[in-house]
Structure 1
Amino acid sequence: MKFFLILFLISFVSFSQEKSKKITPWTLEAAVEHAVENNLQIKQAYLDVLDAETLKLQAKGNFLPSLNLSANHSWNVGLNRNLTTNLLEDMTTQFSSGSIDLGINIYNGRRNIYQLMTSNLGILASKYQLEDMKEDVMLLVVNGYLQTVFSRENFIVQTNQLSVAKSELKETKELVKAGVLPKGELLELEATLASQEQIVVNAENDFEIARISLAQLLLINDYKNFSIADNDYEMVSSLIMEKSVDELYNEAIKSRNEILLAETNVEIAKTNLKIAKASYQPSLSGYYSYNSRVSYADRLVSTDDFNQIPFGVVEGTGERVLITQSETKVVPHLSILDQLRANDGQNFGLSLRIPVLNGLSVKNNVQRSKVNLLRSSNQLNQQKLNFERIIYQAYSDAKGAIKNYEAAKKTTIARKEAYQYALDRFNLGASTSLQFSQAKQRYDSAISNELRSKFDAIFQIKILEFYFGIPLKL
């Protein structure tokens, strides 16, 4: 009994794990979100944002004073003068020194302010560029996803058509067997069936290629288990088509990242021009320095004992002249703190720099900044023209795609009726198998064209909605 209970538990756990491993089909929203989170180019653009934020910290640091500490310790080995005996001896002496230097920028033509403004604009430009790259990736995913959906739907349609062809071939065999139709008609239908099988193989291959391409775009390596959601993608009316193209352009241009990026680049160029012109102005800075030193050599100090030592003689009498001199002794060096206090020194002041002649470098920098400003302005105008062309093209494509889909639906209905009429005539022996096969091929082609035009219309409308700021959803 215990054995069967354990076996049941193992089977249940295995079934649960296998069920948990089941891959959920990808919806368009999930695919877009996954692509934005994992695309390598987007990750690279995000690093550019981090780099721009670092440049902002550097610009803020320009407002702070500079503070530097320095320390030195030296050894003098060899022939040196002994300070206690005043004799040259082979010895080693050591010295230490240190300093604190402080500098502050008082005025430099407001360059620090302009550099901070440039860094803020740089962060904004990097974010716009990041969002623009995300939008490009989104459109690629939508295109790849809809292409996969179309390929799958086309494969299903062609498979169904193959089933219909097989059913028709079976019925024709019965009619031939009954003597209603000649055997030659059967051969024509067999050729049509073989052609339909080839179409199914090609449709399946197109679906596999589209599915794998979408998986590669999403950076998914498990091609075998990758699948898209099995939803009913019907063509629905969109309010976006009720707006005029000018209304679409005027609304969309307010939030398009490529336009905002170009406008930000113009502001950056203007600020860089101010930075270049600031070099014409004088700069004023202040500085302060504190330093001290330490010696590790022994020293001579006076004692409380005094001696009378001869200094000379009195001319004429020959009497010796004596002077009183304090006795000295050799003692160790003072403590480091005492020496630092005794040997310290300070230096402070102001420094004024007035540019007079710098090889025309300032003038050339200003001229280059003006050229860059004109270049950025031209790029902004070009971006607006490009976007206007894209909006008009997208609007025209969407209108044309919708009309094409409506026409394709009418064609399919007409081809279906013609196919049904040809089928009835063929079953009655009033038409040949060639005429019936041609009617069927035209009907199959109409179905494929309708399917293709439907997804093309969906994609064109989604592009227009995307430019207008409507989230991508199916």
Structure 2
Amino acid sequence: MSRYLQYTVILALLIAACTARAQDLPQVWDLKACIDYAKEKNININTLKLDAQTAGQNLIASKAAVLPNLNGNVSQAITNYKSGLQNTSGFGLSSDITLYNGSYLKNDIKAKTLSLQTANLSVEAAKNDITISITQAYLNILLARENITYLKDLLSTSEAQVKQAEQQFKVGTIAKKDLLQLQATYANDKYTLVTAENTLQQNVLTLKQLLQLPTATAFDISTTDTVTVAPALDNLATAQDKALRTRPEIKSSELNIQLQNTELAKAKSTLRPTLSLGGSLNTGYNNNNPGNYGYQLNNSFYQNLGLTLSIPIFDRKVTKTNVAKANIGIEQARLALQDTKTTLTQNVERAYINVQNANSQYAAAKEQFNYTSEALRISNAALKEGTNNIVENLQQKNLYVQALQSFVQAKYTASLYTRIYNFYTGIPINN
């Protein structure tokens, strides 16, 4: 195969692989699809999943430590005596099992179980974090889209006013400065629209980065998404209580205290004696006594069974140091739990305050937007009929733009904060 053909085949395979991967991705993403994809594909989450798998393997090894082992051995030796070389062979099986070691193995299994549960909770906590980040980024895209929709309508109105003013200027019914003011406003509206479209592109990029999608991946979000501002479902005390009972970071901190107590029990167990049972089967062959090989193996076959009691007397303060470190770990775990609870309740309270303020701002912004929309409609109609001057119309338009931006921002902010607040109480974010 020629080198050119090889490169062509490799390129075709790469294109096919990229196409197959692209076909696995949705063409249009809704919020649920974004969250589900991130939970499955996010690198940090998958790294934590691998950590949990490692913890699972540690647990398997810990449980297996209570089982007896079995070792086989084969030896072959040549010894030089004055009488000549002597060749010996040996074969054996040996096994031992720990009967008692101060509950070290039992506590080690418990510690590994707690470590696995903590690792799984770390995965859940990471999923919660990415859910909130993606929800915020997704709503920012919807906000920018809605803002663009209003700004396009505004630009269309400005364009129509400029065209009308140009006709009026030709016939001498308006002054040059009035036409220039409308043209300047039209240019400013185009600039505002371009800025809004750039903001949309930046918000889309932010969401793609959170999803860890390649830059070249085609990406669009659902146009059917609607944002409604629903009231928060629980009062502050109830929300904080639910968060403390259900959030994975609290459960993880509580398990860490249990883990540190188990580590203390493991450290103390090394002060106790260890009793183990061992046995072996052995046989061998010696060429110094030539004869039937099978007879020698049978005649040399012996069995051994015994108990071994190991009593710690002095271990250079290793156990004493480990016990002290374990007690320190318990206190650190308790402080960490207290800090986690404080942080969580403060976050819930902050979310509650944000919801209250955002809903109040939304109600006021919506009322202001309705009034300024109607006022601008009347002003535009009057300007078209020639019963209103351009300065008053531009003033009304500025009020409308301010009210528009406040309304759109307030709507999506209220929706975001409400979802975050309810999410703390265990209500999933799906749309």
TM-score between both structures, scaled by the size of structure 2:
0.89
Q: Work out whether 1:228 is the aligned partner of 2:221.
A: yes
Which of 131, 137, 144 is equivalent to 1:151?
144
Q: Is the CA contact 2:232–2:421 (under 8 Å) kept in the aligned structure 1?
A: no
Which residue in the other structure is 2:292 paired with? 334
Pick the structure with more helix per residue. Answer: 2
Secondary structure of the 2:203 match is helix
Pairing 1:60-79 to 2, within 5 Å after superposition: 60-76=63-79
- Residue among 456, 460, 469 paired with 2:413: 456
Distance 2:126 2:215 in 1: 26
Instruction: Please name the residue that 1:31 is paired with.
Output: 34
**Separation in 2, partners of 1:22, 1:359:** 61
SS in 2 for 1:254: helix
CA distance in 2: counterparts of 1:67 and 1:441, whole angstroms: 86
Q: CA RMSD in A?
A: 2.1
Question: Which ranges of structure 2 fall in alignment gaps of 5 or more residues?
Answer: 1-22
1:54 is paired with a residue whose SS is helix
CA separation of 1:159 and 1:224: change in aligned 2, threshold 3 A: farther
Shift, 1:418, TM fit: 3.5
Q: Percent identity?
A: 26
- Compare the two structures and name the one with the higher strand fraction: 1
Q: Are 1:245 and 2:241 an aligned pair?
A: no
Deviation at 1:430, TM superposition (A): 5.8
| 1:263 to 2:244 alignment | no
In the alignment, residue 123 of structure 2 is paired with which amino acid? Answer: L
Asked whether the equivalents of residues 108 and 283 of structure 1 are also in contact (C-alpha less than 8 Å), the reply is yes
Q: 1:157 to 1:21 in 2, by over 3 A?
A: farther
Describe how 1:132-147 pairs up with structure 2 within 5 A: 132-147=125-140
> 356, 379, 385: which is aligned to 1:399?
356
Higher relative contact order, chain-length normalized (CA < 8 Å, sep 6+): 2
Distance 1:22 1:100, change over 3 A: closer
Q: Equivalents in 2 of 1:263, 1:154: separation in Å?
A: 46
Q: Which residue of 2 aligns with 1:286?
A: 277
Shifted more, 428-437 versus 361-370: the winner is: 428-437
Secondary structure of the corresponding residue to residue 97 of structure 1 = strand
Q: Distance in 1 between matches of 2:62 and 2:215?
A: 46
Distance 1:135 1:46 in 2: 14
What are the equivalent positions in structure 2 for 1:123-202 lying under 5 Å apart?
Answer: 123-202=116-195
The 2-side partners of 1:184 and 1:80 are apart by: 123
After superposition, the C-alpha distances for 1:75-97 in whole angstroms (9 at most, x for unaligned) are 45xx6555xxxxx5xxx653211
Secondary structure in 2 matching 1:36: helix
- Relative to structure 1, the CA distance from residue 191 to residue 21 in structure 2 (aligned partners, 3 Å threshold; closer, same or farther) is farther
Of 308, 315, 326, the residue aligned with 1:369 is 326
CA–CA distance in 2 between the matches of 1:224 and 1:365?
Answer: 53
- Aligned match for 2:205, one of 204, 212, 222: 212
Distance 1:354 1:209, change over 3 A: same
Q: For 1:259-283, what per-residue CA distance to the aligned partner results, in whole angstroms no more than 9, with x for missing partners?
A: 0000011110111111111122121
Given the alignment of the two structures, is residue 117 of structure 1 paired with residue 120 of structure 2, yes or no?
no
Instruction: Name the counterpart of 1:96.
Output: 89
Q: CA deviation at 1:238?
A: 3.1
Rg comparison, structure with higher value: 1
Contact 1:108 1:281 in 2 (8 A): yes
Contact 2:30/2:225, CA 8 A, preserved across alignment:
no
Please tell me whether the aligned partners of residues 295 and 333 of structure 1 are also in contact (alpha carbons under 8 angstroms): no
The Cα shift of 1:448 comes to 1.7
Match for residue 254 of structure 1? 245
State how many pairs are aligned: 409
- Separation in 2, partners of 1:184, 1:231: 44
- Answer yes or no: is the 8 Å Cα contact 2:358–2:410 preserved in 1: yes
Residues 466 and 472, structure 1, Cα contact 8 Å, conserved in 2:
yes
Deviation at 1:347, TM superposition (A): 3.1
Give a deviation string over 1:293-317, Cα, whole Å, max 9, x none.
Answer: 11245x5xxxxxxxxxxxxxxxxxx
Shift of 1:108: 0.6
Question: CA 1:52/1:22 → structure 2, altered by over 3 Å: closer, same or farther?
Answer: closer
User: Is 1:446 matched with 2:403?
Assistant: yes
Q: Secondary structure at the match of 2:70?
A: strand
Give 1:419 shift.
Answer: 2.5
- C-alpha distance in 1 between matches for 2:24 and 2:307: 73
- For residues 149 and 129 of structure 2, the distance between their equivalents in structure 1, rounded to whole angstroms, comes to 30
d(CA) in 2 for partners of 1:366, 1:22: 53
Q: TM-score, normalised by structure 1?
A: 0.81
**Does the aligned pair in 2 maintain the 1:93–1:296 contact within 8 Å?**
yes
- Report the residue type matching 2:100 in the other structure: Y
- The residue aligned with 2:50 is 47
Deviation of 1:189 after TM superposition, in Å, equals 0.5
Aligned pair partner of 2:265 in 274, 282, 296: 274
Q: Shift of residue 141 of structure 1?
A: 1.1
State how far apart, in whole Å, the 1-side matches of 2:414 and 2:267 are. 52
Counterpart residue identity of residue 333, structure 1:
G
**The residue matched to 2:28 in structure 1 has which SS?**
coil
Displacement of 1:140 in angstroms is 1.3
Return the alpha-carbon distance in structure 1 between the equivalents of residues 62 and 172 of structure 2: 95
Cα separation, partners in 2 of 1:392 and 1:31, compared to 1, 3 Å: same
- Asked if the contact 1:52–1:122 (Cα under 8 Å) also holds between the matched residues in 2, the reply is yes
Q: Secondary structure at the match of 1:66?
A: coil
CA distance in 2, matches of 1:188, 1:54: 74
Cα offsets for 1:1-35 (capped at 9, x unmatched): xxxxxxxxxxxxxxxxxxx9996311111111111
Please list the CA deviations of residues 167-222 of structure 1 after superposition, one character each: whole Å capped at 9, or x if unmatched.
12122223333433222101000001111111111111111111122123223236
Q: Can you list the C-alpha shifts for 1:358-395, whole angstroms capped at 9, x where unaligned? A: 22211111111000001001100110000000000001
Take 2:409 and 2:309, find their aligned partners in 1: how far apart are those partners? Answer: 75
For residues 223 and 452 of structure 1, what CA distance do their matches in structure 2 show? 30
Code of the residue aligned with 1:281 in structure 2: it is R
